[in-house]
Structure 1
């Protein structure tokens, strides 16, 4: 069976690092590139971290394309989650500068090139704000038809957000971009924090990584203390939420989830800015509105949480590349 070609759009980020390491240990997929975006860190640092992670993995052959530094509306103050991931995005471990640079192509240009080179074959896993992908959709109307699938980490469906009661961080990072992506007509799987808050790496799991002989497990152990400390304080929990690895798992094995289908729109202003609103009632509305004639997406509603944690641990605990 042919491997699924993956591009990971990422803002590393400690749990992004976990997801990227997991991806390169997943025989089901072939990583053909990383694109970078702001979120956990500014875009330039996300690019630095993506290049660094590929050196850690030993896959310097994989291209990295730097993405947008601001949202579609060019909001000057980008929200950065350094209080979750550390100033360097990798738990204040201060990794050495990477030996190589990103491509001359922008993330938008790289996405368009890959999707048009391999139409119907490439899945994009979006782990940060959706600006790069919205830019690609705006630039080429065929992008939504030619991409195999877009797996989105974002939204808070049926639960409160993690930035404020209405909004999840990735969607709030660029709500206009998210609305463009969700209504593009592409085949989209959305994994929100209603799902990722069920998938936990415990303090005991972290200890197991630290005691392992696997270089990858030890690396995750070293960068993760800051992330664990944040969760201990913010959520009073003995573990961390596995946001990005859970979204990656949806690309690797979607059978670990169940999905409901419907239209998703994003509130782009006001007190509920960034809220993802899901219409899956099947009702025929009595008047024409912004909800009418919009393509549907698939939103994750259940998850085999233990299976995903086990998958991540198993793949981190091996040095097979």
Structure 2
């Protein structure tokens, strides 16, 4: 795709994942952005499989030139991901389609090193779209004090603001995957947009729209139809809805066009202990507190509070159907 001077450079930090795959496909049919790399992280699948899936998706898209950097397999506390969402995405992360091994390999740089290198190479130009736990991003922040200044923006899929979590009543999966990393990123001072499940649960790809994709000759639409049935079955059974939540495509949409959302600004901290470990707590009241607390003297982030779900749904459909 020909890129204009105004095209935004993005790196997608991802744990593919059926909805990650939809977001990645959407990105490569989006003239607003130039995907300059994928970094991988555990979450929906272990990191090793996330890297395989990312490489395979680039083959499907025909963009094997885009580098993939293998990310951390452990949280900052050196804990492996205990809960892999194979019941949502299948054991291979892509709906149990038994895809062949990818032909390419990840680059020699790990995800942390790749993020730092790209931010230094293109200061003020790169948006990171973080679709999984935030370990790689936190490691980049710790590795290079200039990373938060060099990176243009970080768009985070994570948190459950004003609603229950999706792992337990307190926590959303990406944040619970590495709460310590999330707290480092939220308080880093980077320009951050946060898209929580309070937003993504409003954006649904319906059963009827899947049928529309099945009737298309678009290669992207055909691939989504191949991997999607497992994801749709999970949503039918778990949520009793006639469709699927578009978590990752919604976060990508925030990188494409933030005007699709309204945001409130405030400090976000992450609960690190106890029954509510992984809870994202948002101070957006503007109240001047009477005592010093963990929310004082920390930089604000922007948390999405409303979304134009119809426009995001239409955007995804348009780009998946594009020939």
- TM-score, scaled relative to structure 2: 0.98
User: For structure 1, which runs of at least 5 residues remain unmatched after alignment?
Assistant: none
Change (3 A) 1:237 1:138: same
**In 2, Cα distance between the equivalents of 1:268 and 1:21?**
34
CA contact (8 A) 1:70 1:78 kept: no
Q: 4+ residue runs of structure 1 moved beyond 4 angstroms?
A: none
Where does residue 214 of structure 1 map in the other structure? 218
1:33 aligns with 2:28: no
1:192 aligns with 2:196: yes
User: Equivalent residue of 2:39, what SS?
Assistant: strand
User: For structure 2, which runs of at least 5 residues remain unmatched after alignment?
Assistant: none
Where does residue 121 of structure 1 map in the other structure? 125
1:138 aligns with 2:145: no
Q: Deviation per CA, 1:238-292: give whole Å up to 9, x if none.
A: 0000000000000000000000000000001100000000001111111112111
Q: Deviation per CA, 1:91-119: give whole Å up to 9, x if none.
A: 00011100010001000000000000000
CA contact (8 A) 1:127 1:247 kept: yes
User: Equivalent residue of 1:167, what SS?
Assistant: coil
Where does residue 290 of structure 1 map in the other structure? 294
Deviation at 1:78, TM superposition (A): 2.8
Count of matched residue pairs: 319
Q: Deviation per CA, 1:31-87: give whole Å up to 9, x if none.
A: 000000000000000000000000000000000000000100011453211110000
- TM-score, scaled relative to structure 1: 0.99
CA contact (8 A) 2:46 2:81 kept: no
**In 2, Cα distance between the equivalents of 1:60 and 1:163?**
34
**In 2, Cα distance between the equivalents of 1:297 and 1:140?**
20
CA contact (8 A) 2:138 2:182 kept: yes
Where does residue 97 of structure 2 map in the other structure? 93
Picking from 291, 315, 320, the partner of 1:311 is: 315
Matches within 5 A, 1:211-250: 211-250=215-254
1:261 aligns with 2:262: no
